[in-house]
Amino acid sequence: MKFMKEFTNKSKKELQTILSEKRLALRTFRFSIAGSNMRNVKEGSALKKDIAMVLTLLNVKAKVNNE
């Protein structure tokens, strides 16, 4: 929940920037797992959850603007 409180005040553009950064981090994580360079396996699930939270916030903001 700490994540949601930090990013509820962000603008749509800032959230999209954060989303692209998280997706890039997930992509590099996947490649490092494939190359056996990564030790912290839980980082991938944490990144996926962060991406889902940002997408949820973007969808909520889009619905509020449409109404």
How much is the pLDDT for 2? Answer: 62
Domain-wise residue ranges, the chain: 13-66
- Tens-of-pLDDT digits for all 67 residues of the chain? 566 777 788 888 999 999 999 999 999 988 887 777 667 778 889 999 999 999 999 999 888 888 7
How much is the pLDDT for 38? Answer: 63
SS3 9: coil
Q: What is the pTM of this model?
A: 0.81
Nearest Cα neighbor of 55 from 9, 22, 6 is 22
